[in-house]
């Protein structure tokens, strides 16, 4: 049995395959979609006044809500992978607020799923930006924060 142990290596990965690929970009893209759908929902409601019972309004609002919820969950999943799989105990030495940063970002994802709040959508984007800088700082790289939208 010990002869087989010489071929074992430790693998660090966010999935069953040890690709070692981590990047907060997917969380940013999902967060941007959450913010976009939130803003579209607010605008649609403001522009429809008393006509909120029409089939076109209900259909469009339902689609926006579905996309917003899916993207908020995707954002949360991406953040949780970074938090639980990429970051290690030694990162807490230089970033003692790491757990709270991720926990609050995940809570914002949940809030964005159940609310239509431009404020919370922006707070989510701010949290993702903070995590972006934290992540790339740990990797020793300066990667600019660039939004797609």
Domain count, the chain: 1
Asked if residue 149 is part of any domain, the answer here is no
User: Residues 38-96: pLDDT tens digits?
Assistant: 999 999 999 887 777 889 999 999 999 999 999 999 999 999 999 999 999 999 999 99
Assess if residue 120 is contained within a domain.
yes
3-state secondary structure the chain: CHHHHCCCCCCCCCCCCCCCCCCCHHHHHHHHHHHHHHHHHHHHHHHHCCCCCCHHHHHHHHHHHHHHHHHHHHHHHHHHHHHHHHCCCCHHHHCCCHHHHHHHHHHHHHHHHHCCCHHHHHHHHHHHHHHHHHHHHHCCCCCCCCCCC
- Whether 132 maps to a domain, the answer reads yes
pLDDT of residue 30: 99
Average pLDDT over residues 16-26: 81
Domain assignment present for residue 123? The answer is: yes
Looking at residue 101, its pLDDT comes to: 98
Provide the mean pLDDT of the chain: 91
Within-domain flag for 87: yes
128 within a domain of the structure (yes/no):
yes
Entry pTM: 0.86
Range of the domain at 123: 24-138
What is the domain-level CATH number for residue 77? 1.20.120.400
């Amino acid at each position: 049995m010990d002869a087989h142990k010489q071929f074992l290596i430790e693998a660090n990965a966010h999935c069953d395959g040890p690709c070692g690929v981590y990047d907060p970009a997917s969380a940013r893209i999902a967060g941007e979609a959450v913010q976009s759908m939130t803003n579209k929902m607010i605008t649609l409601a403001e522009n429809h006044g008393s006509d909120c019972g029409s089939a076109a309004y209900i259909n469009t609002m339902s689609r926006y809500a579905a996309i917003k919820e899916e993207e908020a969950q995707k954002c949360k999943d991406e953040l949780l992978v970074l938090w639980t799989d990429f970051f290690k105990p030694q990162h807490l030495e230089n970033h003692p607020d790491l757990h709270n940063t991720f926990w609050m970002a995940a809570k914002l994802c949940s809030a964005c799923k159940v609310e239509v709040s431009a404020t919370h959508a922006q707070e989510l984007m701010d949290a993702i930006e903070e995590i972006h800088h934290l992540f790339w700082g740990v990797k020793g790289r300066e990667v600019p924060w660039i939004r797609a939208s």
